[in-house]
Amino acid sequence: MKAYGYIKKKINDDGLLELKEVAIQTAPKHLRAIAAFMIKAANEIEAKGNTFDHIHLQNSWDGWCDKYPDIIISKK
């Protein structure tokens, strides 16, 4: 799995960027895992409300490995 994106703007000096587009290159089974992760994140945001901070794909998917980019969902 690989993730690519185009920079919209630099957020901070640590390298965080706001992207105007994200492309994920992966197999269908990985897309299904990402979709399940996003549904889980949406459910946690609704359940936890203001106490929800963020959730990492790498901590939620048994099939994740170090060569994959992590996906982090945070509340707006």
pLDDT in tens, 18-64: 999 999 999 999 999 999 999 999 999 999 999 999 999 999 999 88
Residue with tokens 């390298």: 15
Domain range spanning residue 57? 2-74
- Full-model pTM: 0.84
Residue with tokens 């060569």: 67
Taken as a whole, the chain contains a residue count of 76
Residue with tokens 């889980």: 40
Nearest residue to 61 via CA among 37, 42, 28: 37
Number of independent structural domains in the chain: 1
Q: 58 and 43 in contact (C-beta within 8 Å)?
A: no
